[in-house]
Structure 1
Amino acid sequence: MQTISQRTLTDIMRYHGITVFIYTIHYPFFATACDPAAAQSINMFYELQARQTEAYCRNELYAQAVDQVKYARKNQFPFHNYEFISVYKVTYNEDCVTSLYTDQYSYLGGAHGNTIRDSQTWDFSTGKQIRLPDFFPNNPKFTDFIFTGIQQQIEEQIKTDSAEYFDDFPSLIRGNFNLNGFYVHPNGIVIYYQQYDIAPYVRGIPEFFFPFQDCSFNT
């Protein structure tokens, strides 16, 4: 098990005394007995990712916010400050394996904000990521198994709780599938899709659970 602490980059950015943009970026810092060099490499991964995100916030998103406040002033429209929040959640942390996802929420005006999810599963004995195919080493057609399972779960959800999905979700779960769109849970694997990939905004980020006993990988 890895020891995890949190680091944060944050700022309140103003234009002529008006708060126009606020960003907060949380990211993890790991310590491990598995391989300290691996932890150092993984920490560099998240440090670089956080710094790149901060640069994007300070340069591109702040400039967009300034343009919007100028437009609002000129046309006497109300202005709501832009916001960017990046938070991570550790979903599995046992032995030398840690899995986590990061949700990046941005509000850039309009009716509501949007969230984009990213995830990694690490082997701290090597410093390398564990990929989705690694969970199905004896099944080269594992994506067919996943698509069938997701479609069955959606159909069951629609029957039981009137879940909202796009009418063409059977083709969308295949067309918008991302091999990196997963994280590890103590009892299995969770496959997820981004907002709007297969369902309306109200559905959020759709998630689909596959127990370990349905896979061949032993964590």
Structure 2
Amino acid sequence: MQTIFQKLLENAMTYHDMPVFIYKIYYPCFTTTCSAAAAESINRHYTENALAAETHCRTVLYPQAVETARYIVDKKPPFNSYTFDSVYQVTYNQNCVTSLYFDSYTFMGGAHGATFRNSDTWDFSTGSRMALKDFYPHGASFTEYLFINIEQQIAERLKTTPGSYFDNYAQLLRDNFHPENYFLKPEGIVIYYQQYDIAPYSTGLPEFLIPFSRPE
């Protein structure tokens, strides 16, 4: 079993005493009853990822914010601080398996920001990631099983929210499928897609729950 502690890197970076870029990077730290070495390796992974994200904020995103802010005279019009926020959600934590996802939101001006999601499912007895195919060891064509299931879910959603998915969603969900884009919940596997992959921005990041069962 894993116990999760939260860590945070944050800063409000200024230009001429004006806050122009603010970042908050949340990341987990684990202890486990399964393998201390595995927890150490996984913790190191997330620490390095958080530090890399912070470096990107400081060396790439902050200069972009300054480049825009320096044209504003006497704060007219007011400059809305650019932001980067990375948060995580643990969705499954039982025995030696933990699954979680990270949503990274970047706002660099414009009408709205953009969110990118990535996820991991860990075996804390070995320190290894678990792949989606690990849950379908006897299903060589498990991806088609997933696609059919997702198509059925989208068809049902479109009955109540027309236009919430692109017309050619059946092809797009296959073209934009990435097997690493999944996480576990107690009731099953969740397949997700990035913004704009299969649906307009207003739909967000589409998620599809596949109950734990072996495809025929």
Question: Which TM class, normalised by the smaller chain length?
Answer: over 0.9
Q: Percent identity?
A: 52
Conserved 8 A contact 2:145-2:215: no
Q: 2:188 matched to which residue of 1?
A: 188
Q: What RMSD over aligned residues (CA atoms) do the two structures have, in Å? A: 1.6
Conserved 8 A contact 2:10-2:25: yes
Structure-2 separation of matches of 1:73 and 1:144: 57
Q: Secondary structure at the match of 1:213?
A: coil
Matched residue count = 216
Q: Secondary structure at the match of 2:137?
A: coil
Q: 2:149 matched to which residue of 1?
A: 149
Matches for 1:58-77 after TM superposition, within 5 Å: 58-73=58-73, 77=77
Structure-2 separation of matches of 1:149 and 1:72: 51
Structure-2 separation of matches of 1:43 and 1:163: 42
Q: 2:56 matched to which residue of 1?
A: 56
Q: 2:133 matched to which residue of 1?
A: 133
| Higher relative helix content | 1
Q: 2:25 matched to which residue of 1?
A: 25
Q: 1:176 matched to which residue of 2?
A: 176
Q: 1:99 matched to which residue of 2?
A: 99
Conserved 8 A contact 2:24-2:86: yes
Shift of 1:182: 0.3
Tell me the amino acid that sits aligned with residue 139 of structure 1.
G
Tell me the amino acid that sits aligned with residue 158 of structure 1.
L
Structure-2 separation of matches of 1:190 and 1:78: 41
Q: 2:158 matched to which residue of 1?
A: 158
Conserved 8 A contact 2:147-2:174: yes
Conserved 8 A contact 2:165-2:200: yes
Deviations 1:164-215 (A, max 9, x none): 1111111110111111100000010000000111000000000000001246
Tell me the amino acid that sits aligned with residue 7 of structure 1.
K
Conserved 8 A contact 1:135-1:215: no
Tell me the amino acid that sits aligned with residue 51 of structure 1.
L
Q: 1:46 matched to which residue of 2?
A: 46
Structure-2 separation of matches of 1:71 and 1:167: 42
Conserved 8 A contact 2:136-2:214: no
Deviations 1:29-57 (A, max 9, x none): 00001000000000011000000000000
Are residues 163 and 92 of structure 1, via their aligned partners in 2, closer, same or farther at CA, if it must alter by over 3 Å? farther
Structure-1 separation of matches of 2:45 and 2:203: 31
Shift of 1:159: 1.2
Shift of 1:70: 1.7
Structure-1 separation of matches of 2:155 and 2:59: 44
TM-score, normalised to structure 1, is 0.95
TM-score, normalised to structure 2, is 0.96
Structure-2 separation of matches of 1:206 and 1:122: 23
Deviations 1:113-169 (A, max 9, x none): 111001000000000000000011001111111111111110111013335111111
Tell me the amino acid that sits aligned with residue 208 of structure 1.
F
Q: 1:15 matched to which residue of 2?
A: 15
Conserved 8 A contact 1:3-1:31: yes
Structure-2 separation of matches of 1:162 and 1:73: 45
Deviating beyond 6 angstroms after TM superposition, the runs of 4 or more aligned structure 1 residues are none
Unpaired segments of 5 or more residues in structure 1? none
